Structure 1
Amino acid sequence: MTSKIVIVAGGTTGMGRATALARAARGDDVTVIGRSRRDLPSSVRFLRADLSSIAEVERVSSDIASRHDRVDALGLFANRVQPKRTETADGLKYTFALYYLSRYLLAARLAPLMSAASVIVNVSGVGTTKGGIHWDDPQLRARYGAIRAQLQAGRANDLLGVAHAGDARYVLYHPGFTRSGLDGHPNPLVRGVLKTLALFAARPVARSVAPVVEWIEHPPADRLTTSDRGEPVDLSGKEADARRLTTYTQGLVTAAR
């Protein structure tokens, strides 16, 4: 069996890490992108980067393209809750930049290396009906809230799938409440509550990543697959919003050059 070339963005902890390790165990050539290598084994290549930075995403994309003539799978996991509004060096809201823009850029820059036999798995919140794009203030400068920012970025990721025009198969996946990323919340009280809830209500990481591992092994036949804890999600009627978001995003990237 030929090993696959797998890129995992946000793969140093939680579901991203579990996916990277599972694929490496199958003999794949796995590269993880993140801030810190932590305890990743030597069998996994690590690229250090701040994925909230446009320049950093461009850099790692170029690095990957210089090392590989193809990419078989791209896993998009990077996200972090920000209780207070924080701007990146590009002047963008941190949540928007990390949770949405980095995913847009990685998929776009690696698209030339991906074919119809490749797959992009975007782990986000498809199926969640709350939230939307605040077209009058996408960077939430006037009215910021951590949940508001997360929901907007989640709906933006839905539109990424709708707008996807590359050859690779695209999967939007909502795993549900999982024992993953619980240490990432900056508020210690919230972390404690989440960990307590997770003991009773959260899915084990291995269960939540199992579909991701298999999508990498066997990419879906459909160009876009949506899965909210195993149930398909209808995103029809979102095409105009997807085009609008793409235009806005392209403008941000151009302005950052």
Structure 2
Amino acid sequence: MRVYAITGGTNGMGRALGLLLARRGDRVLALASGEAGGRALLDRAREAGAGDRVDFLRADLSTVAGMNAALAGVRERADRLDGLVFGAQRFRPVREETADGLEATFALTYLSRSVLGHGLVDLLERGEAPVILNIAGPGGLPGRVHWDDLQLTRGYTGMRAAMQGSRCNDLLGADFPARHPGARTRYVLYNPGFVRTGMADPLPAPQRLLTRVLARVLARSPEAAAADLARLLDAPPAEPVSAFRRNTRLDLSGPAFDPGAAAGLYALTRALPLDGGPPERERHV
């Protein structure tokens, strides 16, 4: 039985993937902040005859305390991981700050993936063919890292924050082998394209309605996207890092995956004020 941890595991693609894996006999640790979503996931797993293979871990991954609670919770429930899937994200039209004073999209979409990815490598290295699958936006809409204002205190828009999160994740994946030389764990960045999820829910009413109409016509179902995700978990590329937009493999030689920029983002991440987390020697960012 393989063991997988999925952030954002109670909604959308995360839920669809978790149920697919559990139905086929794997064990799933679903991490999310909503208790109601967790209960609904467990109910669906029981209905599918897989209730004993799904655990729900409640954690607010937009806060440093929540990230560390997630690390501890996974360790309490598993002594190895075959896969770690990052799917937690939320579109925020208006800038919000977390309890740690961080811009919320940056904290959830990028920082939590850095903390958990680096912090669980030892469990992954015990897996059969371990992989980190980061559902982000490689090869998608343009955007950039705002190096002089990572917290977007000036000129915030929801799209700017989302695109910066995608570019930060490109660099996070590109930098992974430098932080874990010789690791067996493969890092896969994956852009699923247009999928019917709840991402449009926080939008103003006109945009929300338009997005939902377009999704009915153009978007794939979460279940269809989950099938592609499962294939990558089962057979990740041999290279330490790879990136895909749907089924198209992306060239990692471009500026989006620049090693120097990746190292620079890692250094800036290490310098963030993560008070309330573990001691500096134990932090995994």
Q: When the two structures are superposed, what TM-score results if normalisation uses the length of structure 2?
A: 0.85
For the residue of structure 1 that corresponds to 2:272, the secondary structure is helix
Query: 139, 156, 166: which is aligned to 1:144?
Result: 156
Report whether the alignment pairs 1:122 with 2:134: yes
Q: Residue 241 of structure 1 aligns with which residue? A: 261
- Which residue identity does 2:139 align to in structure 1? G
Name the residue aligned to 2:280: none
| 1:92-138 per-position Cα deviation (integer Å, ceiling 9, x unaligned) | 00000011111111101111111272011000100025111111111
Aligned to 1:192: 209
What is aligned with 1:216? 233
Structure 1 stretch displaced more, 140-149 or 64-73:
64-73
Secondary structure in structure 1 of the residue aligned to 2:188: strand
What is the SS of the residue equivalent to 2:120? helix
In structure 2, how many angstroms separate the alpha carbons of the residues matched to 1:21 and 1:94? Answer: 28
Whether the 8 Å contact between 1:127 and 1:228 is mirrored in structure 2 is: yes
Match of 2:12 in 1: 14
> What SS does the corresponding residue of 2:271 show, helix, strand or coil?
helix
Q: What's the CA shift for 1:207?
A: 1.9
Is 1:108 aligned to 2:124, yes or no? no
Do 2:242 and 2:252's aligned partners in 1 also have CA atoms closer than 8 Å?
no
Once residues 193 and 38 of structure 1 are traced to their aligned partners in structure 2, the CA distance between those partners, rounded to angstroms, is 30
Aligned with residue 94 of structure 2, among 84, 89, 93: 84
- Equivalence for 2:76: 66
Three-state SS of the structure 1 residue aligned to 2:70 is: helix
User: Which segment drifts farther, 123-132 or 186-195?
Assistant: 186-195
1:49 aligns with 2:59: yes
Deviations 1:27-81 (A, max 9, x none): 1110100012141025220011111011111111112113322111011001101
Return the alpha-carbon distance in structure 1 between the equivalents of residues 231 and 103 of structure 2: 33
What letter matches 2:194 in structure 1?
A: F
Query: For 2:97, what is the secondary structure of its paired residue?
Result: coil
Q: Which amino acid aligns with 2:166?
A: G
* Larger displacement relative to structure 2 (33-42 or 192-201): 33-42
**5+ residue gaps in structure 2?**
278-285
Amino acid in structure 2 at the alignment position of 1:242 = A
Matched, 1:173 2:190: yes
Secondary structure, aligned partner of 1:216: helix
CA distance in 2 between counterparts of 1:176 and 1:138 reads 25
Number of matched residues? Answer: 255
Partner of 1:252: 272
Q: Does 1:231 align with 2:248?
A: yes
Deviation at 1:256, TM superposition (A): 5.1
Letter in 2 for 1:79: Q
Q: How far is the alpha carbon of 1:186 from its aligned partner? A: 4.1
Deviation at 1:204, TM superposition (A): 1.9
Residues 129 and 250 of structure 1, relative CA distance in 2, 3 Å threshold = same
| Greater Cα offset, 71-80 or 160-169 | 160-169
SS of the equivalent of 2:242 reads strand
TM-score scaled by structure 1?
A: 0.94
2:186–2:237 CA contact under 8 A, matched in 1: yes
CA distance in 2, matches of 1:184, 1:123: 19
More deviation, 24-33/112-121: 112-121
Q: Which moved more, 1:176-185 or 1:101-110?
A: 176-185
Mapped partners of 2:160, 2:199: distance in 1? 19
Match of 2:281 in 1: none
Q: Tell me how large the CA RMSD over aligned residues is.
A: 1.6
